Structure 1
Amino acid sequence: GSGSGVGRAVALAFAARGAAVVVNAARSRDAAEETAGMVRAAGGRAVVVMGDIASDEDCRRIAAGAEEAFGRIDRLINNAGTTRFCDHADLDGLEAQDFLDLYAVNVVGAFQMTRACAPALKQSGSGAVVNVSSIAGIAGVGSSVAYAASKGALNTMTLSLARVLGPEIRVNAVCPGFIEGRWLREGMGADRYDAQKAKLEKTTPLRRV
């Protein structure tokens, strides 16, 4: 997912270092095309391949599109994710389907993308996968119990994949905390978002989020 937020920032950072970038989004082609346009405007190369990573067929098509466009895959950033905002204490606020929906993207989707890209990543000679997880998967916090559980599963899967794909492919996860942006603000609500942001800005060493 690179139509906005962390995904867009990662795409631009890779492009700034000379990488050709495949921009993916499940729904918003306009946002994906905007990211690709920003890459090209900065002198980089980018193509857009739409697809829902909850679909294995789409994952294989995305991987094939990357190889068709650029002839190789050196890095895979599994950034696409979803959540269901629900207070952790509200156990009745979550249904089994909420867990299944989150796992389909946050865990299964990351697995399917890794599997689809693994042959090309091995051929690269320096292939690497980065799973964008969350502090929620470590501390049991975040937007909901279901989200925290899905990110905990992603962290465990990262360890498993690192073991079986190494040394040809490195597999790591990053676990960000609060990230400034529209997605979190809309999910938390403006008042709660602003209060949490102000609190973190006072307590973090760099005084920013």
Structure 2
Amino acid sequence: MAERPVAIVTGGGTGVGAASARALAARGYDVLVNYAHSADAAEQVVMEIRAMGGDACAMQGDVAEDEACRALAEAALARWERIDALVHSAGVTQFVSMGDLAGQNAADFHAIYAVNVIGAYQMVRAVEPALRRSPCGAIVMISSIASLNGTGSSYAYAASKGALNTLTVSLARNLAPIRVNAVLPGMIDGDWLRRGLGDAGFEQARQAFEQSSTLGVICQPDDIARMVVPLVCDATVVTGQLITADAGALLGRPPQVGAR
């Protein structure tokens, strides 16, 4: 059995998933980097982890498919004989104005829930036996502040992240001593949003986020990874928590000194 702990990171080729995979490797984890479409990006993450002295592999798989989730767990066990952590960063959305109730239908909701909620459940089910054998089994879900304030790219996305929060708490209650927590980012700088909003739309949204958040900055993938890693590695008595990492977006801008 491998001496180093092992993590599976879904959606690990880009964004928060890639940042989390690199950050866990820096803490001594070997990592299975799952991706759905970003093969080249996932292989780049693998090369970066190997350059750190760790071991990693990239594996395609759509977490909406239960067989793919089980295959990811089996591949990690075949390579390292252990799984100590799962970071579920895989996620999908549609960019539909919330003023457009006709913009999404039942099929759209099903497709988004299939990855964001059902995929999370299936991944946990696939890795749960191995995590129970680990001395430090931990799961971190990547949710969103859209789950709390009802904003975001679409109704289906916000609702799916709300469901993911509930799933996180339910799993934490029932899987102990495996720890299960969620990180809820604010707007994240990255290609995912740029593709969905377009360059002009992204810049407009970025400026609005920065102007309305307490800290006045947009979140970076590495910022979120720095929240994920302690929940995996250090927070041994923390479970069932929904931790916002949103630059104070939910708080809003502080009042001006002397304002009346």
- Give the TM-score taking structure 1 as reference length: 0.95
Are 2:54 and 1:36 aligned?
Answer: no
- Which amino acid letter does the alignment assign opposite residue 113 of structure 2? Y
On the 8 A contact 1:47/1:69 being kept in 2, the answer is no
Aligned to 2:189: 180
Aligned to 1:160: 170
User: Which one is further off, 87-96 or 23-32?
Assistant: 23-32
Say which structure, 1 or 2, has more relative contact order (CA 8 Å, 6+ apart): 2
Are 2:36 and 1:26 aligned?
Answer: yes
How far apart, CA to CA, are the structure 1 residues paired with 2:95 and 2:205?
Answer: 15
How far apart, CA to CA, are the structure 2 residues paired with 1:76 and 1:60?
Answer: 13
User: Which one is further off, 185-194 or 56-65?
Assistant: 185-194
On the 8 A contact 2:84/2:138 being kept in 1, the answer is yes
How far apart, CA to CA, are the structure 1 residues paired with 2:105 and 2:209?
Answer: 31
User: Which one is further off, 21-30 or 51-60?
Assistant: 21-30
How far apart, CA to CA, are the structure 2 residues paired with 1:51 and 1:124?
Answer: 24
Are 2:25 and 1:15 aligned?
Answer: yes
Are 2:137 and 1:124 aligned?
Answer: no
Aligned to 2:155: 145
Q: Which runs of 5+ in 2 are unaligned?
A: 1-10, 219-260
- Which amino acid letter does the alignment assign opposite residue 70 of structure 1? W
Q: Size of the alignment, in residue pairs?
A: 208
Q: 1:208 aligns with which of 211, 214, 217?
A: 217
Aligned to 1:79: 89
User: Which one is further off, 127-136 or 38-47?
Assistant: 38-47
- Identify if the C-alpha distance between structure 1 residues 145 and 206 changes in structure 2 by more than 3 Å, giving closer, same or farther: same
Q: Which runs of 5+ in 1 are unaligned?
A: none
Aligned to 1:5: 15
By percentage of residues, which structure has more helix?
1
- Which amino acid letter does the alignment assign opposite residue 104 of structure 2? L
- Post-superposition offset of 1:208: 2.4
Aligned to 2:226: none
- Give the TM-score taking structure 2 as reference length: 0.77
How far apart, CA to CA, are the structure 1 residues paired with 2:211 and 2:154?
Answer: 25
Aligned to 2:201: 192
Identity within the alignment, %: 52
- Which amino acid letter does the alignment assign opposite residue 182 of structure 1? D
* Aligned alpha-carbon RMSD (Å): 1.2
Aligned to 1:46: 56
Are 2:103 and 1:93 aligned?
Answer: yes
How far apart, CA to CA, are the structure 2 residues paired with 1:104 and 1:200?
Answer: 28
